Structure 1
Amino acid sequence: MKIAVMGAGAVGCYYGGMLARAGHAVTLIGRPAHVEAMRRQGLFLEARTFKEHVPVVATTDPEGARGADLVLFCVKSADTASAGRALLPQLAPDAVVLSLQNGVDNAERLRAVLPQTVVPAVVYVATEMAGPGHVKHHGRGELVIGESPGSAGIAEMLEAAQVPTRVSDNVMGALWAKLLVNCAYNALSAIARLPYGVLVQGPGVNDAMRAVMEECLAVARADGVTVPGDSWAAIEQIAKSMAGQYSSTAQDMMRGKPTEIDYLNGYVARRGQAHGIATPVNSLLHTLVKLLEG
């Protein structure tokens, strides 16, 4: 299969690299420093069970997506619409776009600019760009993708590439379940500049996270979304399974990059306001991160 990755950062490089390693033709569309490194030596994929240079095509131009059967759409949430418009002239009518992004409304916003099939996905992976063209995998890696005519085939292809994938008939619930965890951890990790395992030991942190969770659940219910599973157990598990991980928001702030906080705690605050639901903790965390970001 011919695959393009729009937004070849840590997430895009990991999944694109795994697919390229499985024999698919993968084009990574990313920033110049990473592209130059990958053109010289391929993508250096450092997983927990292997380290290898994976041959890929790399470019800074969205034209790299021309003729792709599948596009892994991995840009930051703030860039969803503009990146979608850049892709539009390149995509075949039957191409499928898989949104591997934080937040819950990216697929909806992407459908507003692309006529192709857009499938939302929930991403559970800990990765980082450890250097130009070098992606480091810290843990997990599974995907939950929404239903579409091609979803079963995409899931089968990803499974064959050692990416655990399942198709869900409640992908919005799964997206909200991930959003809950992000809202509980991302801002606090960024403000304190602490990894998850240390963060949760702080006084009052568990109470703050529980309050974030309750606000998120109230807003999700008002939006008509059923969030599956035990949300608090999922929050607690993250500190155990990713104890040394800093949130993506913390990583962005430490690198002086814009964060996605508007699409995490900020999104919950906006949806709460639309429904007349108070979200004081999410609103405060959003405000604090925006102040620090500025």
Structure 2
Amino acid sequence: MKIAVMGAGAVGCYYGALLAAGGHALTMIGRMQHVQAMQRDGLRLSAANGTEFVVPVQASTETAAVQGAQLVLVCVKSTDTDAAAAAMAPYLAPDAVLLSLQNGVDNAERLQAALGRPVLPAVVYVATEMAGPGHVKHHGRGELVIGPSADSDRIAEVLRAAGIPVEVSDHAMAALWTKLILNCAFNAFSALTELPYGRLVQVTGLLPAMREVVDECLRVAHAAGVTTLEDEVVWQAVMRIAQTMPGQRSSTAQDLSRRKPTEIDHLNGFVVRTGERLGVPTPANRVLWVAVKARESA
């Protein structure tokens, strides 16, 4: 299959490397330093199990490189979703399947509105970071949950054949909200302390503060009509993150360390805005949102 990855960051490079290793024709679209490294040396993956391999891929800084792709993995930051949709629109094949592998709950909806075509939402549970130009490091997990559609089962089989665990679920929106809550619980705290998840939860007073953030998110989700989320089940999922990804620093922390804009407006900021619209107070999420925005400004 001809596959394009729009946004060759840590998530896009991880799944792109697995698909390329599985024999698919990969085109990675990203920033110049990563593109040049992949053109010269291939895409390098250091896996959590200690294995390491390099796969040849096509790489480009031009969005036109999505042309002819049968599957497009959209992996750009939530802040870049609308711009990416506008840039891709003239080049997408009529029968191309788009899969959003992004943080937040509304990216697939935003892409779909901008492009006027279906976009599959996916919930991504993976710990990765870019270790250097064209080099992605995997810290753990890697499963996906994707929403149902006429193409979902076919795309899921392609992904599974490349070694990517995939579940097709009617409850993808609840799963997206659960992932959003996990991000709201960890990302800002990790960014502000520069600690990985395993050490973060050992900080005195951190867990009760994190529980306040999670409880606010749950109240907002319930008010928004996502009623299938169970409070204790979500909290247990939060605790599992620290166990399964102890060495991971959040993407928000990685962005701040590189002096890049973060996705905090689409994480805790999204919860704050949705809470305001629905009349649900979110003081804990507001403090984290504003604190990260202050760090961005600095």
- TM-score, length basis structure 2: 0.97
How many Å apart are 1:192 and its aligned residue? 1.0
8 Å CA contact 1:95, 1:116 repeated in 2: no
Match of 2:115, SS state, is coil
Aligned position for 2:275: 272
Aligned position for 2:87: 86
Alignment of 1:141-160 (within 5 A): 141-160=142-161
CA distance in 1, matches of 2:20, 2:215: 41
Alignment of 1:8-47 (within 5 A): 8-47=8-47
CA distance in 1, matches of 2:5, 2:89: 14
8 Å CA contact 1:93, 1:116 repeated in 2: no
Moved over 4 A (4+): none
Match of 2:126, SS state, is strand
Matched, 1:234 2:246: no
Partner amino acid, structure 2, of 1:291: A
8 Å CA contact 2:218, 2:229 repeated in 1: no
Partner amino acid, structure 1, of 2:44: F
Match of 2:184, SS state, is helix
Aligned position for 1:254: 257
8 Å CA contact 1:195, 1:246 repeated in 2: yes
Matched, 1:172 2:165: no
- TM-score, length basis structure 1: 0.98
Deviations 1:177-223 (A, max 9, x none): 01111101110111111111111111211111111111111111111
Partner amino acid, structure 1, of 2:148: E
CA distance in 2, matches of 1:21, 1:80: 27
Aligned position for 2:114: 113
Deviations 1:69-109 (A, max 9, x none): 11000000010000011000010111111000000010111
Where structure 2 has 5 or more consecutive residues not aligned to the other structure, the ranges are none
Moved more, 194-203 or 258-267: 194-203
CA distance in 2, matches of 1:101, 1:226: 23
| Coordinate RMSD, CA, aligned | 0.9
Aligned position for 1:3: 3
CA distance in 2, matches of 1:227, 1:38: 43
CA distance in 2, matches of 1:227, 1:185: 22
Moved more, 198-207 or 119-128: 198-207
Match of 2:136, SS state, is strand
Question: Of 285, 288, 294, which aligns to 1:285?
Answer: 288
CA distance in 2, matches of 1:109, 1:21: 31
CA distance in 1, matches of 2:272, 2:48: 37
Alignment of 1:124-163 (within 5 A): 124-163=125-164
Deviations 1:5-33 (A, max 9, x none): 00010100110111010001110001101
CA distance in 2, matches of 1:260, 1:131: 21
8 Å CA contact 1:69, 1:96 repeated in 2: yes
Aligned position for 2:190: 189
How many Å apart are 1:46 and its aligned residue? 1.3
8 Å CA contact 1:177, 1:227 repeated in 2: no
Partner amino acid, structure 2, of 1:176: W
Where structure 1 has 5 or more consecutive residues not aligned to the other structure, the ranges are none
Match of 1:112, SS state, is helix
CA distance in 1, matches of 2:67, 2:167: 27
CA distance in 1, matches of 2:155, 2:176: 19
Aligned position for 1:54: 55
Match of 1:172, SS state, is helix
8 Å CA contact 1:128, 1:135 repeated in 2: yes
Partner amino acid, structure 1, of 2:14: Y
